[in-house]
Structure 1
């Protein structure tokens, strides 16, 4: 599709972390979608989300794939100095899973045939921790890892524990970079982790861990990665920002049928296998195993790519639940960080449908099946007025 925009800046550097859901950026680059918008984009691989956040904040990166809560956390000054950030596009949903070490799994009263199952695995872990308490065991507390304290991984892990009746005080949760998870699990440094693909599948293929639940089973149809820029970039280079959004939304659309289209899967594997991206060939993950059917992952849909402010409000609530932040469900903040108006503009120019609302009742799947759903049946609504 031809460009409808006139970018104020052509040469750009965008960051990504080597995960399957970096695919929209890689596809946009390899298919020439950035170039079609008049953009000369370089993709820069980063090891951690903290690095992504800091480099976008200081202008080293013009924009980046981000874990969904990070623009909010950065705008609030959680974990670093406050830098207002904004997102107008969700790149993916799902793709996360909770994996436990084989050592721990062997101590749980759990039928492996039931897995992945959040309720069975959570109950088994809760019973194990109760037995340890009754025995007054002197063992170290369970150590679980997530990629960042300001990530859906972190909140989904705690949601799973809470649903099973496990208090945050009963486990230790630390931060580990995605690519280091399997090695940390194998060494015994951690007992389990929550991470995005392909790292859970690789841990299971290596025999070091077992996937006990996908996070889509906990939070169904939930934003996972977003494309984010600083508010300063969005305000000073609006045409450039729209051009980036257009290229990336087209890439998400190309990925719509990726798990059922063998030709596309093979093409994507070829790109991801390259050393500058995910180096999958070096890790033994073949094209036929690129997507784990037990871990739901999606890249395109009118409601999926929408930056719902109601989901932002729910993320703020998780921050409050874990004492990361004590403020209100701040409407002006959510309006600054989430820009559904820009998403609708870009989607309309491409001929794609987009929801008319900025807010919805989270936890209600809806007649079209594109709403969200929580494992415990929670309904979460905020009055946007």
Structure 2
């Protein structure tokens, strides 16, 4: 019998790792350019959540370089593991399972985390739990409050923009997704046009908040009944406005463009999310992903949810960006159902959220 098969049998019989009343999940996240290790008790109590960011390394290139990201993960992984265990005040022998981001993400970056997690699970003789990155972003909300089902999750991050229906715990149904650039990608591309460094999202958000005038830009609603998104045309509209001003010998209104761009993005994503909540009978709205830290987006969604009488959960900024605590929160869904992964787990850069459902 395989090691994971033995652990599953133990759990089913009420012995071994599945039988403990208090349990510790060690989680690893390396999907892009953050190396993170967390230790979480009972799926909700964060004992440690160490993150090593590579922003300074990639800034000089204007974006994430996959090969460099992978090498940085290799250099940092052991240190993050040691610091997470030390900060949590536990021993590695106390760990009941090891969770890891299996996908989606950069294949080289994912591989570093998967190899580390498999090695650790084997050495500690505990179950391995392959985890979906977006499920992590969604269940980061579970670290700060109770999720009420059915719920709508608005996922806005560097590589993903999706509206997800959670009819019940751990069941994901994607209602809409971006057809081209994700929100985070659009922010970075517009920021580059506005002469901001990488990552540009926070700079655009700040400039938009400070602007007194708005350069009105188009809204891409797509088909009337669609929950999908498209932001490539909006990015092109910003570039066209800049070029038009320069051809006239004028200085482009960067602050007005930042505000116009942000207003267009926010109106479309929040409008579709609220419509999805109304049409599905959702009882709660969840905001998830790195762009959930955007001040303008948070404030507008709060207003709309209050008007609709819809409870809203938004994680603090430190849980919006990529981190391992959110991976532990999602992995807890699998832990409680004894749905463990085998040691031949593979990194999957394109991993279906719906297929990962418990």
Query: Could you say whether these structures have the same fold, taking a TM-score greater than 0.5 normalized by the shorter chain as the test?
Result: no
Which structure's residues are more often helix, by fraction? 2
TM-score by length of 1: 0.27
Length-normalised TM-score, structure 2: 0.29
